Amino acid sequence: MNIMKYTLLILTILLVSSGIHAQERVVTELTNGWKFSKGTNEKAFENDFNDSKWQNVTVPHDWAIYGPFDKEIDKQIAAIEQNGEKVATEKTGRTGALPYIGEAWYRNQFSLPNFDKNKKVILLFEGAMSEPKVFVNGQKVGEWNYGYNYFYFDITDYVAANGKNSLAVHLSNLGLSSRWYPGAGLYRKVKIIVKNKESIDQWGTFITTPFISPDLAKVTIKTKVSGENLRIITKIKDAKGIEVATNENSTIFGNEFEQNIAVKNPHLWSPENPYLYTATSQIYVGDVLKDETTTRFGIRSIKYEANKGFSLNGEVRKFKGVCLHHDLGPIGTAINKAALRRQLTILKDMGCNAIRSSHNMPSLEQLELCDEMGFMFLAESFDEWAKPKVKNGYHRFFDTDAEKDIVNLVQATRNHPSIVMWSSGNEVPDQHGAEGVKRAKWLQDIFHREDPTRPVTVGMDQVKATLASGFGALLDIPGLNYRVHLYEEAFGKFPQGFILGSETASTVSSRGIYKFPVVKAQSKQYDDFQTSSYDLEYCSWSNLPDDDFVLQDDKPWVIGEFVWTGFDYLGEPTPYDEKWPSRSSYFGISDLAGLPKDRFYLYRSRWNTNDKTLHILPHWNWEGREGQTTPVFVYTNYESAELFVNGKSMGIQRKNNATPQNRYRLMWMDVKYEPGTIKVVAFDTQGNRVAEEEIHTAEKPYQIKLEADRTNLEANGEDLAFVTVSVVDKKGNPCPTATQQLNFSVTGKGTYRAACNGDATSLEQFHLPTMKLFSGKLVVLVQSTSEAGEIELKVTGIGLKTAKIPLKSN
């Protein structure tokens, strides 16, 4: 078994009260030992699996992220209907210009120690992009079409009891199958589960908390099982591992146990206090323990009420949410918990409390982290129903697969307390007409059947059509994508009594790039293919953040928003999808490297109510603009501030209601540039000076500066440290216009994984150890090995003082 890594292993011999021993389930994660070959069709290896020349890879794996970028890969002649286009034009970079299109094979081997005829073997995939066909010992055991879904097969009849078993997976990604970078390969985990035939079914546990009071919570646990003459014992432990309740039951209805368990003085789950319990369920035949599973859950209540909105644990609150695509920037779609945790840590600092998985089913790791860190979650399912957006999209499978895809989504994730609603679709063309209404109801009914405790929404962009057809009226939660001018009409005509901003803003900006003159602009383009970080540019269908802020603050029936997007993502380079090179989005509040843009601080000034925000823009290195108007903005949760340029006051600005921008930003529009120092002094409501911030004109770049998000890594071969690399002058001032080429090397018990500078036009490959700075910064990813020890990252650049940073893996 040297070829496989056990990162999750439950193999325990338990002693029960009667003194009888029994072996439980073994869960093996197939990480190492994989062979990979791209460009080979399904029939190529049907009879000859000579993989000696195949590439050795670990899973999760995204074969396309290594590039190179090429406009010909995903060039399309199309009119993007969702953007209101009527005429087809050449589009490039729409799916990231990365080589995800094509067929590939993955192959591995596994053994089954102590396997016998009383065992059952489950093969679980948490995501495979896409259309996987699965073979065990040369026999096809099944296939699944939707690349974002979790699925499993019972392979008991296909495995050999002794010796090694072969596993082969064929994948096929068609062109014109996505509107963003979908990734490619076995990009999420693969597991082998061996258990007794008398056992808990896969995803067979469903935990709800239908009654909650300060003194007592009712925890209802439904457990589907296989076998005869079974009994179940469930023990609930608190976050400290202390047992707080237990229940034994031998009454089974069909194949399901139902237990109602009282938990005294419950701790409630919330974003501020994400308290988690665990329920351990044991299945017995007589006194023999046959199976055991542990499920983590939270005790919390949700409610959606007309004219009142959304409440969690009885407290009315609004969603301060962002939409996230599933790629992780420079490492692509291959799931990595450290990268996800970093994203959520950045969002938490911004004051974000909710995530929408756009427009696909979330990873289990993302949900686990949201449970732990305190994020409410809108779990989305599809971007297409029966009517297509792209030629080879999900519409090909909708009629045959939609129900089973939803069933797997719900059953695999419904115990996560973070999930507070489901979405059955996003901007589907089916919003028009009676057939679309029927499909919306059919999907919503499936969600309700599988999980009666959570409501269902759809992200609607064709609001007029849904008002006319009844589509929007039948939804549990009417979700509006943009269309701020239709909120009042929709609220008046929809019966639910509230509106959700299921997708908002789509403001565009490039980190550290500023354009003049500073004016509001729709679909503005520039020769350098960048957008302005003054945060006044948006798309033809969208709007500025401040327009949503007004609705969120003034309308109690608007229950929150999910901003497009929390981070830049690969693909959809609007407004430059007709230009090259441009291969990733500009929508993010943070860039593709995870570095905050100025807009981050605009949202933070509203959403983070625990910490103060005082942020100045633009930078103050404008050689050649001396004497020219260079407006200064301040994003802050203080109501007023005074600006100084080289000690001279530019006056006090106060937030006011003259425009949405004046209400949420402090703006000095007539400042003339002169090198030196700009300083802002903020005042409290009594006029007292309470905070200040300043920016200096930097001299020429002198040395490299390194800052790691964490310096201690886990020696598991997959943990990551994200090191922000910047350049400063001799005085330590950041150099915001630096673009030097840097080189990276890692020594010790770590490896170089990737780098990213956040530039949507950069064609440098992430996995090569060299990259140019963009707006004075980039990020380097250092990965641990399976050995503990010291790690060092060294960064060099011509004419710059070299920098090193020590890390450690344990």
Residue-level pLDDT at 669: 98
Which residues on neighbouring strands pair with residue 354, listed in sequence order?
A: 321, 376
Residue 15 has pLDDT above 60, yes or no: no
Directed axis angle between helix 398-413 and helix 364-373, to 10°? 40
Q: How many other β-carbons are positioned within 10 Å of the β-carbon of residue 335? A: 24
Q: What is the pLDDT of residues 308-336, one digit of tens each?
A: 999 999 999 999 999 999 999 999 999 99
Q: For residue 45, what pLDDT is reported? A: 58
Per residue in 344-373, pLDDT (tens digit) is 999 999 999 999 999 999 999 999 999 999
In this predicted structure, the answer to whether residue 4 has a pLDDT above a threshold of 50 is no
Mean pLDDT for the chain overall: 94
Lowest pLDDT segment from 49-58, 298-307, 564-573, 630-639: 49-58
3-state secondary structure 353-389: CEEEECCCCCCHHHHHHHHHHCCEEEEECCCCCCCCC
* The pLDDT of residue 7 is above 90: no
Q: Are residues 383 and 424 in the same domain?
A: yes
What's this model's pTM, rounded to 2 decimal places? 0.95
Q: What is the pLDDT of residue 76?
A: 85
| pLDDT band, very low/low/confident/very high, at 44 (cuts 50, 70, 90) | low
CA 606 to CA 417: how far, in whole Å?
25
Is residue 19 located within the same domain as residue 168? yes
Q: Which residues are catalytic?
A: 427, 503
Question: Residue 52: which pLDDT band, with cuts at 50, 70 and 90?
Answer: confident
Q: What is the pLDDT of residue 457?
A: 98
Please indicate, yes or no, if residue 776 is contained in any of the structural domains: yes
Q: Are residues 412 and 558 in the same domain?
A: yes
Judgement on whether residues 322 and 471 belong to the same structural domain of the protein:
yes
Biggest CA–CA distance in the chain, Å, is 88
CATH number for the domain spanning 762: value is: 2.60.40.10
| Predicted pLDDT of residue 48 | 56
Find the CATH number of the domain harbouring 117. 2.60.120.260
Q: What is the pLDDT of residues 55-106, one digit of tens each?
A: 999 999 999 999 999 999 999 888 777 667 778 888 899 999 999 999 999 9
pLDDT(14) > 90? no
pLDDT surpassing 90 at residue 613: yes
582 closest CA partner among 591, 593, 570: 570
Cα gap 810→806, rounded to integer Å: 14
Are 372 and 495 contained in the same domain?
Answer: yes
Task: Print the domain residue range for 214.
Answer: 199-297
Say if residue 732 is exposed, middle or buried (CB neighbours under 10 Å; 0-12, 13-18, 19+): exposed
If one counts every other C-beta atom within 10 angstroms of the C-beta of residue 82, the result is 16
**Cα(432)–Cα(462) distance, rounded to whole angstroms?**
8
502 and 482 in contact (C-beta within 8 Å)? Answer: no
- For residue 628, name the pLDDT band (cuts at 50, 70, 90): very high
Residues 45 and 131 in one domain: yes
Looking at the structure, tell me whether residues 796 and 674 fall in a common domain: no
Last residue of a domain, one of 244, 263, 297: 297
Instruction: Using the 3D structure, point to which of 163, 180, 196 is the last residue of a domain.
Output: 196
23: pLDDT strictly greater than 80: no
Lowest mean pLDDT among 1-5, 730-734, 750-754: 1-5
- 393, two tokens: 């999209």
Is residue 809 within 8 A of residue 715, CB to CB? The reply is yes
Same domain, 167 and 244: no
- Does residue 185 sit in the same domain as residue 286? no
- Contact criterion met (CB below 8 Å) for 91 and 109: no
The predicted structure's pLDDT at residue 12: 31
Report the alpha-carbon distance of residue 776 to residue 780 in Å, rounded. 14
Please list the alpha-helical segments (H only) found in 510-638. 545-554, 598-607
Average of per-residue pLDDT across 485-494:
97
pLDDT of 42 reads 66
Mean pLDDT of 477-504: 97
Q: In the prediction, which pLDDT does 348 show?
A: 98
Measured CA to CA, the distance from residue 380 to residue 378 in angstroms comes to 6
State mean pLDDT over 598-626. Answer: 98
613 C-beta neighbours (distance < 10 Å), count = 23
191, part of any domain: yes
Q: Contact at 8 Å (CB) between 378 and 420? A: yes
Domain co-membership, 455 together with 550:
yes
pLDDT in the model for residue 425: 98
Note whether residue 451 is domain-resident.
Answer: yes
Residues 276, 355, single domain; the answer is: no
SS3 call for 602: helix
Examine the domain organization and report whether 288 and 371 are in the same domain. Answer: no
For the chain, the domain total comes to: 5
DSSP 287: T
